[in-house]
């Protein structure tokens, strides 16, 4: 397997396909790099180098007890970029992964970044705070953590319905549902729970203020997990010149339900 070891001794798995301008993908919760296989294959077949990693605690990466916070996630990305010697890389983040690529820019700037793509992302802020009362209430996230600790397998299985919108007339295969559960159960329980705290309680507004590269925001208007009106819509407004694409009727998991459309939109953005 392709891995590298971070400064704190965590082993991070990554896949690296194709040749050309680099595109680095950061996955959502509670998935891993495999969620990007369609996008990676599509772009690598069209002249791009595509890289995706398993976040610490997930997939084939090691499972430390600590480090499940966005400053650490951003440093992991920084060290991966340095390890691979990447320049002019386009960063693509889905859901919680949109947070760590934004925090990377907040901490390290855009000297090595050609573009930013936020897909159903938790930016600029996800959870409700005093300064962001329209966010998702804390009780929702407390319920998620309680469900994970009680019966993670069943919670993730049930979570797939709103994630993919199968409770709202979307259709995905039994294979996708099986793969989603299998991927989620590879992860550290500690990491899975701690990441809920991270993505619900981190404010990325200062990070987005530092974005000065071409930016694409894509969000489904039927997202039941990360509401478009308080995330994607505001993220696009926060980055000057950002392009916003709203997928009509799309759920959170539109990388699967709107796979072809997403692949084509990513290629068009990269080809600009």
Q: Which of 27, 102, 188, 252 is catalytic?
A: 252
Residues 6 or more apart whose CB falls under 8 angstroms from that of 36 comprise 25, 27, 50, 52, 255
The 8 Å CB, 24+ separation contacts for 244-247 are: 244/217, 244/218, 244/219, 245/216, 245/217, 245/218, 245/219, 246/218, 246/219, 246/220, 246/221, 247/218, 247/219, 247/220, 247/221
CA 201 and chain centroid, separation: 16
223 is catalytic: yes
Residues 6 or more apart whose CB falls under 8 angstroms from that of 224 comprise 162, 163, 165, 167, 168, 251, 252
Residues 6 or more apart whose CB falls under 8 angstroms from that of 143 comprise none
Q: 156 in helix, strand or coil?
A: helix
Backbone angles phi, psi at 9, to 5 degrees: 90, 10
Question: Do 118 and 218 meet the contact criterion of CB atoms below 8 Å apart?
Answer: yes
Q: Is the dihedral of CA 191, 182, 96, 5 positive or negative?
A: positive
Q: 122 in helix, strand or coil?
A: coil
Q: Which of 76, 223, 258, 265 is catalytic?
A: 223
Question: Do 127 and 141 meet the contact criterion of CB atoms below 8 Å apart?
Answer: yes
Residues 6 or more apart whose CB falls under 8 angstroms from that of 37 comprise none
Question: Do 252 and 95 meet the contact criterion of CB atoms below 8 Å apart?
Answer: yes
Q: Which of 95, 102, 188, 200 is catalytic?
A: 95
Query: Which residues have a catalytic role annotated?
Result: 95, 223, 252
């Amino acid at each position: 397997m392709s891995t590298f070891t971070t400064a704190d001794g965590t082993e991070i798995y990554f896949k690296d396909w194709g040749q050309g301008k680099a595109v680095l993908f950061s996955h959502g919760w509670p998935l891993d790099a495999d969620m990007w296989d369609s996008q990676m294959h599509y772009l690598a077949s069209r002249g791009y180098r595509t890289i995706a990693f398993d976040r610490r605690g997930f997939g084939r990466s090691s499972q430390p007890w600590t480090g499940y916070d966005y400053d650490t996630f951003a440093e992991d990305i920084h060290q991966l970029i340095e390890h691979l010697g990447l320049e002019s890389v386009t960063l693509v983040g889905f859901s919680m992964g949109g947070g760590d690529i934004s925090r990377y820019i907040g901490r390290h700037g855009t000297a090595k970044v050609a573009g930013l793509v936020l897909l159903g992302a938790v930016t600029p802020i996800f959870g409700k705070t005093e300064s962001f009362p329209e966010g998702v209430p804390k009780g929702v996230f407390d319920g998620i953590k309680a469900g994970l600790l009680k019966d993670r397998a069943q919670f993730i299985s049930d979570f797939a319905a709103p994630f993919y919108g199968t409770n709202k007339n979307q259709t995905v295969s039994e294979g996708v549902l099986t793969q989603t559960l299998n991927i989620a159960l590879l992860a550290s329980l500690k990491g899975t729970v701690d990441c809920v705290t991270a993505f619900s309680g981190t404010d990325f507004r200062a990070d987005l203020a530092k974005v000065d590269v071409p930016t694409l925001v894509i969000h489904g208007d039927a997202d039941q997990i990360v509401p478009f009106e308080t995330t994607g819509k505001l993220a696009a407004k926060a980055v000057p010149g950002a392009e916003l694409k709203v997928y009509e009727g799309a759920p959170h998991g539109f990388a699967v339900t709107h796979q072809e459309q997403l692949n084509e939109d990513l290629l068009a953005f990269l080809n600009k």
